[in-house]
């Protein structure tokens, strides 16, 4: 890069950091919308600056050099990052001189910081959840609307090594290696830091870069082809497109969101993914009319409302908090929670909103299955909401979500042991994915009929096998089940 282009990069990165600081959005989305052309380089600098934000802030405070540097805080941070932790400051002019003259003092304070923390590597100064982000496996959903699963695997196997025996710790999946996911049939797992943003399969919409936990809701809800589904809080739209793939683009998905910019982004991504069964509604789901004929046959509901985001690995907006233990704030775009609330009050406000969304979904006349999910680890937003919903609407009960998953709900949060076994929890450090929660509500009588259908199908399959041993038979098995994988 020329010195002029380097300064453009620093200024663009500083602008994104400032917007993240103001909680205007996630780093990746803000970098994507920036005017700077090299999005990958921009995102790399922004992400690394934010990962080391507290380290940089502590060094600047201890060195007391900020009073000599009359530049905005975000710009100082990205330049100090490159000075101390990166390739060195690449720009020229007054800005570089303002920073570089303090290099010895800044370096000495960084060394003292490591000594005080008892570490030898600066990476050990990063908060645990941010540190974990750099070594997490990369999950990739094969978009079955664009390409058969095996075709995608075969094409990827020409460039990456496909292993049938991945390590138990997926963070140790070797570079340039991938495997099939153990729980979801349309998901692949790649080694940490695998970048597929410019891969033809991704740019053609055949691969969706989506965290494994985020793939749970559509898999658990499993709306049948031809059904009418509602996605209550749809943007950025990956769960919506996953539901469309589960439905084979047959039927209708009503997708709600309150933000026009996010809605446009979602529509653009859906177009690339080949999603054609979605009707978009720029309004709050809570304002939707349950008596509207458009929703009279809606049976399946995805409810993934705004939450604290406390389970997100590498969540960057939290780096600006004074304490690592302070609870996280609402995700960008959550209109329902007032700014400035104490953390505990904020979580409680979110839980009330989440409860309202689930109960509103249940109030639609044909609602049969409601999948509730969050990327939170707080009991108040998870088991607490489920318990409150079950108490408020006795017409619904829990059905076991994703039976093959090992980590279930917490009993001491308002649920019975049997109810807790029905819901799903994920834990970032042990499960190698986002902290997540999923619960599947079904209208009473539905779970029994589903189980009955599954049992009948199993019984008929046994009969068919027995008949095959005796000779051909034209009898067909009846009974259908909702697969929750």
Q: Show which residues are catalytic.
A: 375
Which residue, 246, 253, 247, 240, is CA-closest to 294?
Answer: 253
What token pair was written down for 77? 């941070």
Strand partners, 302: 231, 371
Main-chain dihedrals φ then ψ at residue 151, nearest 5 degrees:
-65, -40
Question: By three-state DSSP, how is residue 140 classified?
Answer: strand
Helix axes 39-51, 3-21, angle to 10 degrees: 60
CA distance 237 to 273: 11
Main-chain dihedrals φ then ψ at residue 397, nearest 5 degrees:
-140, 170
Residue with tokens 């960057």: 316
CA distance 454 to 448: 10
CB 82 within 8 A of CB 95: no
DSSP state of 408: B
CA 56 to chain centre: 28
CB 375 within 8 A of CB 436: yes
Question: By three-state DSSP, how is residue 141 classified?
Answer: strand
Query: How many Å from the N-terminal Cα to the C-terminal Cα in the chain?
Result: 49
Which residue, 374, 318, 307, is CA-closest to 346?
Answer: 307
Q: Is 114 exposed, middle or buried (0-12, 13-18, 19+ CB in 10 A)?
A: middle
């Amino acid at each position: 890069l020329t010195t002029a282009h380097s300064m453009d990069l620093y200024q663009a990165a500083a602008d994104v950091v400032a917007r993240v600081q103001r909680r205007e959005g996630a780093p990746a989305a803000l970098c994507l919308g920036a005017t700077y052309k090299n999005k990958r380089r921009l995102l790399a600098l922004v992400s690394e600056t934010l990962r080391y934000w507290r380290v940089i802030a502590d060094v600047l405070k201890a060195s007391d050099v900020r009073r000599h540097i009359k530049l905005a805080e975000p710009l100082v941070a990205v330049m100090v990052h490159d000075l101390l932790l990166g390739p060195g400051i690449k720009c020229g002019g007054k800005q570089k001189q303002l920073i570089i003259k303090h290099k010895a003092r800044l370096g000495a304070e960084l060394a003292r910081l490591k000594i005080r923390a008892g570490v030898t590597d600066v990476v050990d100064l990063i908060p645990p959840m941010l540190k974990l982000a750099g070594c997490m496996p990369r999950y990739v959903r094969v978009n079955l609307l664009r390409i058969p699963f095996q075709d995608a695997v075969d094409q990827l196997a020409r460039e990456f090594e496909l292993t049938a025996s991945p390590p138990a710790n997926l963070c140790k999946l070797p570079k340039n290696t991938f495997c099939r996911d153990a729980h979801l049939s349309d998901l692949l797992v790649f080694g940490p830091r695998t970048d597929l943003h410019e891969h033809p399969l991704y740019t053609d919409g055949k691969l969706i870069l989506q965290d494994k936990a985020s793939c749970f809701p559509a898999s658990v809800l499993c709306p049948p082809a031809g059904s009418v589904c509602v996605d209550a809080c749809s943007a950025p739209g990956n769960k919506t497109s996953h539901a469309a793939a589960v439905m084979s683009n047959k039927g209708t998905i009503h997708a709600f969101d309150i933000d026009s910019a996010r809605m446009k982004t979602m529509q653009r991504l859906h177009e690339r993914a080949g999603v054609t069964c979605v009707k978009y509604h720029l309004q709050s789901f809570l304002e939707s009319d349950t008596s509207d004929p458009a929703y009279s046959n809606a049976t399946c509901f995805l409810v993934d409302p705004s939450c604290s985001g406390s389970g997100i690995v590498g969540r960057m907006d939290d780096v600006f908090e004074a304490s690592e233990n302070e609870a996280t704030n609402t995700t960008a775009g959550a209109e329902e929670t007032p700014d400035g609330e104490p953390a505990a009050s904020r979580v409680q406000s979110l839980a009330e909103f989440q409860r309202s969304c689930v109960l509103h979904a249940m109030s639609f006349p044909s609602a049969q299955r409601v999948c509730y999910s969050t990327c939170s680890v707080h009991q108040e937003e998870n088991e607490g909401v489920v318990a409150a919903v079950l108490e408020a609407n006795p017409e619904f009960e829990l059905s076991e979500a994703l039976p093959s998953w090992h980590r279930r709900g917490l009993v001491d949060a308002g649920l019975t042991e049997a109810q807790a076994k029905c819901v799903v929890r994920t834990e970032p450090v042990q499960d190698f994915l986002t902290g997540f929660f999923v619960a599947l509500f079904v209208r009473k009588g539905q779970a029994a009929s589903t189980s009955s259908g599954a049992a009948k199908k199993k019984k008929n399959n046994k009969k068919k096998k027995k008949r095959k041993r005796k000779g051909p038979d034209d009898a067909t098995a009846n009974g259908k089940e909702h697969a929750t994988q």
